[in-house]
Structure formats: C-alpha cells, structure tokens
C-alpha cells in the first residue's frame, strides 16, 4: 500500500484523549491531528519523536491531518489501526501470505450474524476463510511483540466469532500485523489483558489459525513482507 499523497514530516509532542495528538511543524507551528488508534500506544509515544501525518485534503474537516507513523530512533512504527486491513487485503489478493495462498478473492467488512462484521473474507472459489486483523505496535520488556496494549473486550468478542465461524465449516484466522521491526517473536500481552491471552489460547486450540505477519513501514509505503513470525501462547 503506497501513500498516494506524500506524508508530511512533523515532530510528535503528545497523544491524548485517545484520538488526538499534538504535532509540531518544522516552522514551529503546533497542530492537533487525528490519532486513529484506540489502544494505549504504549511504547509509541515519545516527545520530540519524528512522525509522519497524512493530509485529507479537506480543509473543512475538523482535523485535517492524521497521524500515520512515529519513529523511536530505531524504526518506524505504524500507529494508524486502519492501515493493517488495507495491507492485509492487498497481500491476500496478491498471494503473498503463504498459509492462505490461493485465497485471492478478497472482500472487506463482511457481515457475520446479526450485529458483526469480519475484517476480511478470502475465497479460493470453493471455500472461504474469515480473517480478523489486529495491529501490533507494542514491544514488551522481554523484547517480544505483544498484543493487546490495553484491555480489549472487543478483541475477545472477535475470537469468539472466529470460533463460531470455524464451527460453521469455514476457515478462520486471526492475523496480527506487526508494524515495527525492533522486536523478536510474538506473544499475547498476558500482563496487560490475561483474559485475552486465555481466549487466544482457546481459539487456537479450537482450530482458529494464528498468523503473525511482519510489515515494512516507511513514509512511502506499508506492505506485508511475507515473513511470518513464531509465537508463544504461554
């Protein structure tokens, strides 16, 4: 996924009220931008960090600019939680996710049941695989990529839905997209949300496929590399 409009270079000052961030332009101006991330963004917010924002091109929008990524001195970290769905759909359509090779017909935001939507449904013409996508931006103190970075009841709901989909005869997968490059393997963040860690283990035991995919994050583009990381559930 290439950014159609070049991202703007700024310094991150602070993130607050979940969806707001203050940034400073090179000329010293301070502006509030939209922060599309409902998590804690632990380890992703440092005063004075290099950051990139996208321009909606709409001066009438309440917050014209959107925070896309930050740099911690080692790597870019993609913090816009809307991007992983885009890059995952692109990778699936191009056959770049090996466990789902051949599932190149991709639909997004597909209704399941009465009140739910699944991020992606990939098909090979004869069978569907329902895929939920999560953005991973946390590196824990042991050097592991970890999810979630805040307690997520919604995340547990998604795992239950994937198990129901599996029981209905479809393939079901949880895809964790890692949008940074300074960690090792992946694990659930049991120290932050032990209930999610338990639910993830139950989902895996039931047959939900767990996929942890690395993404390259640059100011020009974000894309899955095709590399799958090992993970531990306990």
CATH number of 83-228: 3.40.1350.60
Cα–Cα nearest to 76, from 230, 226, 220: 220
How many whole angstroms separate alpha carbon 27 and alpha carbon 10?
Answer: 10
CA-angle at 3, arms to 1 and 55, nearest 5°: 140
**What class is the 8-78 domain?**
mainly beta
What values do phi and psi take at 157, rounded to 5?
A: -60, -40
pLDDT per residue, tens digit, the chain (234 aa), is 999 999 999 999 999 999 999 999 999 999 999 999 999 999 999 999 999 999 999 989 999 999 999 999 999 999 999 999 999 999 999 999 999 999 999 999 998 876 789 999 999 989 999 999 999 999 999 999 999 999 999 999 999 999 999 999 999 999 999 999 999 999 999 999 999 999 999 999 999 999 999 999 999 999 999 899 999 997
Provide the 3-class DSSP secondary structure of residue 86. helix
Q: Could you state, in order of their start, the residue ranges of all structural domains in the chain?
A: 8-78, 83-228
pTM assigned to the model? 0.95
On whether the CB atoms of residues 224 and 91 are closer than 8 A, the answer is yes
| Widest pairwise Cα distance in the chain | 57
């Amino acid at each position: 996924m290439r950014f159609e409009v070049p991202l703007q270079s700024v310094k991150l000052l602070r993130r607050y009220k979940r969806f707001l961030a203050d940034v400073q332009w090179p000329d010293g101006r301070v502006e509030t931008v939209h922060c599309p991330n409902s998590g804690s963004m632990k380890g992703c917010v440092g005063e004075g960090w290099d950051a990139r924002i996208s321009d909606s091109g709409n001066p009438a929008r309440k917050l014209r600019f959107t925070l896309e990524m930050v740099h911690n001195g080692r790597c870019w970290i993609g913090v816009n939680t809307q991007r992983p769905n885009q890059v995952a759909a692109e990778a699936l359509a191009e056959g770049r996710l090996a466990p789902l090779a051949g599932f190149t017909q991709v639909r997004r935001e597909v209704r399941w049941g009465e009140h739910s939507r699944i991020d992606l449904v990939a098909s090979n013409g004869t069978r569907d695989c329902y895929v939920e996508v999560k953005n991973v931006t946390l590196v824990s103190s042991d050097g592991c990529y970890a999810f979630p970075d805040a307690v997520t009841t919604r995340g547990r709901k998604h795992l239950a839905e994937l198990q129901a989909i599996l029981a209905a005869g479809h393939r079901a997968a949880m895809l964790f997209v890692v949008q940074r490059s300074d960690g090792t393997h992946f694990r659930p963040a049991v120290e932050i949300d032990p209930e999610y860690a338990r639910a993830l283990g139950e989902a895996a035991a039931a047959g939900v496929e767990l996929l942890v995919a690395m993404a390259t994050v640059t100011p020009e583009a974000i894309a899955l590399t095709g590399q799958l990381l090992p993970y531990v559930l306990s």
